[in-house]
């Protein structure tokens, strides 16, 4: 099959590799219908995460089940399915608490930018669609696999409440999906921090009420100005740098909440500053599986349309161009069709 | 009047100083009925916080109002009152949100280990008792001024829910009051971490169900052993060191909450570790004023008895001995009577 390989930072290739095969009787093999490039893939592409040896890449997928292991009871060949980037058993204490990405048996699902994919713990990981999705639904359903689920978790972790004032740090696909989530959870005011016209437009379309273009101290001051001098009730940190974390923490009112979903890179939080801020902080890899059924319902009913974050679609063989377009910020997010 | 002065680390004196006088028309002057030494006073006493020049010390108080300024409307001379260590106006957006210790006009109330005390923003800060308290109630009412309010906030910040499993890191007066709070909020299981027999006994009396004597990695392992392998739902961090914060974070289940009320000293929280833990963290100087009326009700009705944390009572003139007794852990907390 054809699969996307990161050979080294900046070097993406689509190569012929062996088809995946069953490893455990709880596995499923999917034929990928749609996949995409994640902001977190760029950490590798840019060499910020080490790339020790060439390896398959990608972790977002919508696919058709081709084969299931003997111990898979609920997922059947022929079903259209979506899953998260972490396989989970959906039965351990952490899954039962809704934190599937802390599943005691979690396993990273890698290599999704390919024609086929092995998914471990298929029964716990995959959610089947009621039928074959129509072409217009594919992008929004694919978004649920990661960015929409992650934006949703950011809003939940930031405890967005009806009527609340929410600020979103980061105008990537996750931040934009965070705007959708905040809106759906009833936020009264949604401040999107963005300097890019096309992303500002999408944020407004998704429900943002204010755009803040300033950053750093000026950005913090602007948010305080918009929020009675005290800061936002809930802030979604969707980047993962020391600067964005500081932006988020200092833009939140005492008693407010930050939800952080950008994987932190060189982020240290000063205990005393956090203490005196009275701000609560919860982050983590989004437990997408917990909300997948709900998100799929919203998409199929047309209540949310996160697929709009894909502003470029390419055939799988052009994966290298997909990475370049995102790296150069020519595209928000690129969908790949095998 | 007689007042306690910290001259330098390790040097506590009770000296004759001028009586406090009105500074603002929103002030009140109290005659102190009971005051005490706080664990946080020991940071100064031990020289961990700098003591640049001799200054009055103490911030916990139960007193009788002697005089009020022209703009004080609700607090009257002759009333028995309790207040918090931060004066607050009780009207700003942060006070209205329940975070009085982030009041936009907050002011530290210092010098309470004395015969008299000036309290700024009297209407917003002080809560009057319905009548003169009887002698047996004095200790528990005084405890509401800080340690009971702080233990309560630790439990609220850790989002203790009915039936939850709670762990308490720190067996000082605040940690012990945290046990009271967890019990009152309906915790099903309360694990107190303590190595001192007298404190263990008090924790059990207050509602702890388990005692863990291990610390560090062993303590974390012991708590996991007691909690289905995943950690406690809510953990109260009542110390403020890097070690205690780590103990708290690693003893909490994914999706659980840490409430931290020990003022952090040299505590840095690694963003990536916090991220993958899925643990939420909220701390801060406890907004005691927000819960003072409720706590006073509980004490007057005999539903809680936090005054038991005072295992030594001394006349004000023996303040130096009070500090020594707490520093050497001969006493949990010392009450001082002017």
Which residue is associated with the tokens 């060499």?
A47
Please report which helix (H) or strand (E) contains residue A159, including its range.
Answer: none
**Span A25-54, mean pLDDT?**
95
Please report which helix (H) or strand (E) contains residue A319, including its range.
Answer: helix A319-327
Using DSSP bridges, classify how beta strands B2-8 and B280-283 pair: parallel, antiparallel or unpaired.
unpaired
Chain A residues with beta carbon closer than 8 angstroms to that of B270: 267-269
- How do residues A321-330 score in pLDDT, each as one tens digit? 999 999 999 9
Nearest to B155 by CA among B200, B114, B118, B192: B192
Cα–Cα distances (Å) from A178 to A72, A182, B141, B149, in that order, read 33, 6, 46, 36
Using DSSP bridges, classify how beta strands B2-8 and B28-36 pair: parallel, antiparallel or unpaired.
unpaired
Chain B residues with beta carbon closer than 8 angstroms to that of A274: 264, 269, 281, 283
Residue of B99, B268, B282 lying closest to A270 (CB–CB)? B268
Structure tokens at A162: 């009806």
Question: Is A94–B280 a contact, with Cβ atoms under 8 angstroms apart?
Answer: no
pLDDT > 90 fraction of chain A, expressed in percent and rounded: 99
The torsion angles phi and psi of A32, rounded to 5 degrees, stand at -75, 125
Q: What is the pLDDT of residue A114?
A: 98
Q: What is the pLDDT of residue B260?
A: 98
Per-residue pLDDT band at A31 (split at 50, 70, 90): very high
**Span B189-198, mean pLDDT?**
96
- How do residues B242-290 score in pLDDT, each as one tens digit? 999 999 999 999 999 999 999 999 999 999 999 999 999 999 999 999 9
Per-residue pLDDT band at B90 (split at 50, 70, 90): very high
**Span A252-273, mean pLDDT?**
96
- How do residues B288-304 score in pLDDT, each as one tens digit? 999 999 999 999 999 99
Question: Is B284–A277 a contact, with Cβ atoms under 8 angstroms apart?
Answer: yes
Q: What is the pLDDT of residue A279?
A: 98
Q: What is the pLDDT of residue B112?
A: 98
Per-residue pLDDT band at A160 (split at 50, 70, 90): very high
Chain A residues with beta carbon closer than 8 angstroms to that of B274: 264, 269, 281, 283
- How do residues B194-246 score in pLDDT, each as one tens digit? 999 999 999 999 999 999 999 999 999 999 999 989 999 999 999 999 999 99
Mean pLDDT of chain A: 97
Please report the ipTM that was assigned to this predicted complex.
Answer: 0.96
Q: Number of residue pairs across A and B with CB atoms under 8 Å?
A: 126
Distance CA B260, CA B241 (A): 11
A40: three-class secondary structure by DSSP: coil
Q: Which residues of A touch B (CB under 8 A)?
A: 93-94, 97-99, 101-102, 104, 157, 228-230, 242, 245, 253-255, 260, 263-272, 274-285, 287
> How large is the greatest C-alpha to C-alpha distance in chain B, in angstroms?
60
Per-residue pLDDT band at B58 (split at 50, 70, 90): very high
A104: three-class secondary structure by DSSP: coil
Q: What is the pLDDT of residue B4?
A: 98
The torsion angles phi and psi of B36, rounded to 5 degrees, stand at -165, 175
Residue of A102, A267, A279 lying closest to B254 (CB–CB)? A102
The CA distance from A284 to the nearest CA of chain B, in Å, is 4
Q: What is the pLDDT of residue A258?
A: 98
Please measure the distance between the N-terminal and C-terminal CA atoms of chain A and give it in whole angstroms.
Answer: 10
Per-residue pLDDT band at A299 (split at 50, 70, 90): very high
Q: Which residues of B touch A (CB under 8 A)?
A: 93-94, 97-99, 101-102, 104, 157, 228-230, 242, 245, 253-255, 260, 263-272, 274-285, 287
The structure's pTM equals: 0.96
Contact yes or no for A322/A37 (Cβ under 8 A): yes
- How do residues B4-29 score in pLDDT, each as one tens digit? 999 999 999 999 999 999 999 999 99
Distance CA B192, CA A285 (A): 31
The CA distance from A160 to the nearest CA of chain B, in Å, is 15
Chain A residues with beta carbon closer than 8 angstroms to that of B284: 254, 275-278
Q: What is the pLDDT of residue A80?
A: 98
Q: What is the pLDDT of residue A63?
A: 98
Nearest residue on chain A to B261, judged by CA atoms?
A275
Question: Is A269–B264 a contact, with Cβ atoms under 8 angstroms apart?
Answer: no
pLDDT > 70 fraction of chain B, expressed in percent and rounded: 100
- How do residues A44-92 score in pLDDT, each as one tens digit? 999 998 999 999 999 999 999 999 999 999 999 999 999 999 999 999 9
**Span A181-202, mean pLDDT?**
97
Per-residue pLDDT band at A212 (split at 50, 70, 90): very high
Q: What is the pLDDT of residue A156?
A: 98
Beta bridge partners of B107: B87
Q: Where are the beta strands (DSSP E) in chain A?
A: 2-8, 11-16, 28-36, 55-56, 61-68, 80-82, 86-87, 107-108, 116-119, 127-128, 165-169, 189-193, 210-212, 232-237, 252-260, 268-270, 280-283, 310-315, 333-337
Kindly tell me the number of DSSP H helices and DSSP E strands found in chain A.
12, 19
Chain B residues with beta carbon closer than 8 angstroms to that of A245: 271
């Amino acid at each position: 099959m054809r699969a996307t390989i990161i050979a080294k930072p900046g070097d993406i290739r689509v190569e012929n590799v062996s088809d995946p095969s069953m490893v455990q009787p709880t596995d499923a093999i999917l034929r990928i219908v749609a996949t995409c490039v994640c902001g977190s893939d760029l950490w590798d592409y840019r060499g910020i995460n080490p790339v020790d040896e060439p390896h398959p890449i990608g972790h977002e997928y919508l696919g058709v089940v081709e084969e299931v292991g003997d111990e898979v009871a609920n997922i059947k060949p022929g079903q259209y399915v979506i899953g998260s980037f972490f396989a989970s058993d959906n039965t351990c204490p952490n899954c039962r608490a809704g934190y599937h990405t802390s599943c005691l048996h979690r396993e990273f699902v890698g290599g999704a930018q390919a024609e086929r994919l092995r998914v471990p713990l298929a029964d716990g990981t995959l959610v089947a669609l009621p039928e074959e999705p129509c072409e217009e639904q594919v992008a929004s359903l694919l978004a649920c696999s990661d960015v929409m689920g992650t934006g949703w978790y950011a809003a939940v972790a930031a405890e967005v409440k009806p009527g609340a004032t929410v600020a979103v740090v980061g105008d990537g696909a996750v931040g934009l999906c965070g705007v959708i989530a905040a809106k759906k959870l009833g936020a009264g005011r949604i401040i999107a921090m963005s300097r890019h016209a096309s992303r500002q437009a999408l944020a407004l379309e998704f429900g943002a009420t204010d755009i803040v273009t300033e950053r750093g101290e000026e950005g913090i001051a602007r948010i305080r100005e918009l929020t009675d001098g005290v800061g936002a009730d809930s802030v979604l940190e969707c980047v993962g740098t020391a600067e964005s974390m500081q932006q988020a923490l200092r833009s939140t009112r005492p008693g407010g909440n930050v939800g952080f979903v950008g994987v932190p890179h060189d982020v240290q939080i000063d205990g005393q500053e956090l203490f005196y801020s009275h701000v609560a902080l919860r982050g983590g890899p989004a437990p997408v599986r917990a909300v997948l059924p709900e998100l799929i319902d919203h998409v199929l009913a047309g209540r949310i349309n996160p697929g709009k974050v894909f502003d470029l679609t390419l055939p799988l063989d052009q994966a290298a161009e997909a990475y370049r377009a995102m790296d150069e910020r020519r595209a928000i997010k690129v969908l790949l069709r095998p």
